[in-house]
């Protein structure tokens, strides 16, 4: 019996609810749709689903602009649908993680409506209001992540409010204890309903400089680069005060037992580590996005893994991610052949993996024109390939109309409806991406070397990435070829012989190896090593 919390050995699966399964024909995925597809998740072998926001929202940022934290948006269903999903998922041993968006609300939230009603409003100080600069312009130079100034002028009360994202997403004022109280109340509301944890949106943004100093110019920014990168976000993100905030969030879930907090944080490895807290009192899993836009180079990735492993604080549990609803899909970024190698990497590294829906069938990034994109980021910061619609196209379930996503016209066009690109078409094909994911997840479930085991990087050259995963007498060698040409490695001492238990390219399972190993281009092998000595 293992006593480690479930999220240390489990695998998380991210669902973008608009795009998973539409049950009512309105072209938008919904909770009932997700419930009907639980078979797929169980069959795949994941342990938890994280749902991007399903709360009441005007959908300017597709749910990341929340108007009511405690109610389900009608487009996704009713509270009863969420309760039914929780019940059915739990009955199958699947956990359910919700998205918590504490940094900002929608401008349609009752809190903001009150806040903007007058300077004396009860909730005025729940948001970040400042007087105009002497020239009437914005109070300082802070920029929105979605383009332009981060300050919006409110005619009625003559002040500016701060919004790190859209103008319709005003930032909450986390220096006001009432805000922290209100958000932790929201957390308790959902924890009492039985949800298993939260993924916390833009966690590193919550605190901003108390004296509103201008952000410095980014010395690495070049003319022609995204205008949103022009400044270093020194005074708007990752402030020292975050330490108390993460402690409050952790204290909120602690009485509930094994619930998990996952922080969305885009920071370099060494700064990411602070979010574990000082004494295991921060979030359990600060998302590690190192792989999400890493140059696909074996030496670079090897160093990155080593750096991450080295940087982890005592008791800090690692995690890995290859994609999400904000980033280009991995199968397009590194190509379909290497996407199989990436799957082996994601699921054999030490730490909790998060799979983005569709990765298991090799879904590719769809092409959209920034000018006509639905994603406001693409429209407001066009021309840099930042649009996110391409990662959010409907899940491809079966060949035929809308690939089985639903009867109505999907909110974003389905990318592919041919059999080979669907779950149904891949299910019984041992050479498919889906079969590879299932085999990898089965390996994780049955061999504790992959969940609890040690990681040890081995020296290698060229396109080869080589490491050991070991627990007790279970010893595995993982050899990934990040290049297109075959590579060979000689095996000596305790790592000299064994049997291949999994190959990214079909066909090498069960092959006995001794003394050396050749890995084909675009292949990855997992070798069960013979007992040492």
Q: CB under 5 to 8 A by kind: which of Mg ion, ligand NOJ, none does 309 bind?
A: none
* Inter-residue contact 490 to 513 (CB < 8 Å): no
Give least dist CB 395 to ligand NOJ, A.
18
β-strand pairing of 260-263 with 352-356:
unpaired
Residue from the set 24, 88, 229, 520 that interacts with Mg ion by CB under 5 A: 24
Give least dist CB 99 to ligand NOJ, A.
8
174-203 mask for ligand NOJ (x: CB under 6 A)? ---------------------------xx-
- CA 243 from chain centre, in angstroms, equals 22
Identity of the residue, 65 or 81, whose beta carbon is nearer to Mg ion in the bound complex: 81
239-268 mask for ligand NOJ (x: CB under 6 A)? -------------------------x----
Number of other CB atoms surrounding residue 280 within 10 Å: 13
Residue of minimal CB distance from ligand NOJ? 64
Segment lying near Mg ion (by CB under 5 A), choices 12-20, 22-30, 85-93, 282-290:
22-30
Helix or strand run (H / E) with residue 529: strand 524-529
Number of residues binding to ligand NOJ, judged by CB under 6 A: 9
State yes or no: residue 81 binds Mg ion (CB under 5 A).
no
Give least dist CB 205 to ligand NOJ, A.
8
- CA 526 from chain centre, in angstroms, equals 26
Give least dist CB 324 to ligand NOJ, A.
7
Q: CB under 5 to 8 A by kind: which of ligand NOJ, Mg ion, none does 452 bind?
A: none
State yes or no: residue 165 binds ligand NOJ (CB under 6 A).
yes
Residue from the set 10, 19, 22, 498 that interacts with Mg ion by CB under 5 A: 22
Residue from the set 7, 12, 30, 482 that interacts with Mg ion by CB under 5 A: 30
Number of other CB atoms surrounding residue 295 within 10 Å: 9
Identity of the residue, 28 or 349, whose beta carbon is nearer to Mg ion in the bound complex: 28
Give least dist CB 406 to Mg ion, A.
6
Tokens of 193: 């309903």
Residue 507 Cα distances to 209, 435, 439, 502, 525, angstroms: 57, 13, 13, 9, 11
Residue 371 burial (10 A CB sphere; 0-12, 13-18, 19+): exposed
Q: CB under 5 to 8 A by kind: which of Mg ion, ligand NOJ, none does 83 bind?
A: none
State yes or no: residue 61 binds ligand NOJ (CB under 6 A).
yes
Point out the residues that are catalytic. 201, 264
Q: CB under 5 to 8 A by kind: which of Mg ion, ligand NOJ, none does 165 bind?
A: ligand NOJ
State yes or no: residue 32 binds Mg ion (CB under 5 A).
no
Give least dist CB 264 to ligand NOJ, A.
6
Q: CB under 5 to 8 A by kind: which of Mg ion, ligand NOJ, none does 196 bind?
A: none
State yes or no: residue 28 binds Mg ion (CB under 5 A).
yes
Looking at residue 174, what DSSP letter applies?
A: T
Identity of the residue, 304 or 407, whose beta carbon is nearer to Mg ion in the bound complex: 407
Pairwise CA distance, residues 187 & 363, whole Å: 33
Identity of the residue, 336 or 408, whose beta carbon is nearer to Mg ion in the bound complex: 408
290: CB partners within 8 A, 6+ apart: 269, 304, 308, 320
Span 325-364, contacts to ligand NOJ by CB under 6 A: 325-326
Identity of the residue, 276 or 377, whose beta carbon is nearer to ligand NOJ in the bound complex: 377
Pairwise CA distance, residues 447 & 130, whole Å: 56
Identity of the residue, 64 or 76, whose beta carbon is nearer to ligand NOJ in the bound complex: 64
398-429 burial code (b ≥16 CB/10 A, e <16)? bbeebbbbbeeebbbebbbbeeebbbbbbeee
Q: What is the CA radius of gyration of the chain?
A: 24
Residue 532 burial (10 A CB sphere; 0-12, 13-18, 19+): exposed
Pairwise CA distance, residues 367 & 375, whole Å: 13
* Inter-residue contact 468 to 495 (CB < 8 Å): yes
- CA 152 from chain centre, in angstroms, equals 29
Residues lying near ligand NOJ in the complex (CB under 6 A): 61, 64, 101, 165, 201-202, 264, 325-326
Residues that bind Mg ion (CB under 5 A): 22, 24, 26, 28, 30
């Amino acid at each position: 019996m293992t006593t480690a919390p479930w999220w240390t050995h489990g695998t998380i699966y991210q669902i973008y609810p608009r795009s998973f399964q539409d049950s009512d024909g309105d072209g938008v995925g919904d909770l009932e749709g997700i419930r009907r597809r639980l078979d797929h998740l169980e069959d795949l072998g994941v342990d938890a689903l994280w749902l991007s926001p399903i709360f009441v929202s005007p959908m300017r940022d597709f749910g990341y602009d929340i108007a009511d934290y405690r109610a389900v948006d009608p487009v996704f269903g009713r509270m009863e649908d969420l309760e039914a999903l929780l019940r059915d998922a739990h009955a199958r041993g699947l956990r359910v993680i919700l998205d918590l968006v504490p940094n900002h609300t929608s401008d349609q939230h009752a809190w903001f409506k009150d806040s903007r009603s007058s300077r004396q409003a009860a909730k005025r100080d729940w948001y970040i209001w400042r007087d105009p600069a002497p020239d009437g312009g914005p109070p300082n130079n802070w920029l929105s992540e979605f383009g332009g100034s981060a300050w919006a002028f409110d005619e009625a009360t003559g002040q500016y409010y701060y919004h790190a994202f859209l103008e319709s997403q005003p930032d909450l004022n986390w220096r006001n204890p009432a805000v922290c109280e209100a958000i932790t109340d929201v957390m308790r509301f959902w924890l009492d309903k039985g949800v298993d944890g939260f993924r916390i949106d833009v966690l590193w943004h919550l605190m901003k400089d108390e004296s509103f100093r201008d952000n410095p110019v980014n010395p690495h920014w070049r003319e022609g680069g995204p205008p949103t990168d022009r400044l270093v976000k020194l005074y708007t993100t990752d402030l020292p005060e975050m330490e108390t905030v993460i402690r409050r969030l952790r204290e909120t879930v602690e009485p509930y037992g094994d619930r998990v907090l996952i922080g969305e944080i885009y920071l370099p490895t060494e700064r990411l580590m602070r979010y574990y807290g000082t004494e295991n009192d921060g979030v359990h899993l600060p998302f590690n996005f190192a792989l999400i836009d890493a140059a696909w180079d074996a030496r670079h990735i090897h160093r990155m893994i080593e750096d991450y492993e080295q940087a982890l604080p005592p008791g800090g549990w690692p995690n890995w991610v290859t994609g999400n609803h904000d980033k280009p899909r991995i199968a397009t970024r590194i190509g379909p052949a290497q996407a199989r190698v990436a799957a082996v990497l994601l699921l054999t590294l030490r730490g909790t993996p998060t799979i983005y829906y569709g990765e298991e069938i090799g879904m590719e990034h769809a092409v959209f024109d920034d000018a006509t994109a639905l994603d406001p980021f693409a429209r407001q910061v066009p021309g840099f390939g930042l649009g996110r619609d391409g990662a959010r196209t409907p899940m491809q379930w079966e060949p035929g109309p809308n690939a089985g996503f639903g009867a109505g016209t999907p909110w974003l066009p389905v990318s592919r409806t041919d059999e080979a690109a669907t779950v149904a078409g891949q299910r019984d094909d041992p050479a498919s991406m889906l079969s590879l994911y299932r085999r990898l997840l089965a390996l994780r479930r049955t061999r504790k070397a992959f969940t609890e085991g040690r990681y040890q990087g081995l020296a290698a050259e060229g396109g080869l990435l080589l490491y050991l995963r070991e627990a007790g007498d279970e010893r595995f060698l993982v050899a990934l070829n990040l290049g297109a040409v075959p590579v060979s490695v000689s095996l000596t001492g305790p790592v000299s012989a064994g049997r291949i238990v999994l190959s990214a390219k079909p066909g090498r399972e069960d092959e006995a190896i001794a003394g050396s190993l050749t890995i084909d281009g675009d292949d990855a092998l997992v070798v069960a090593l013979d007992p040492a000595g």
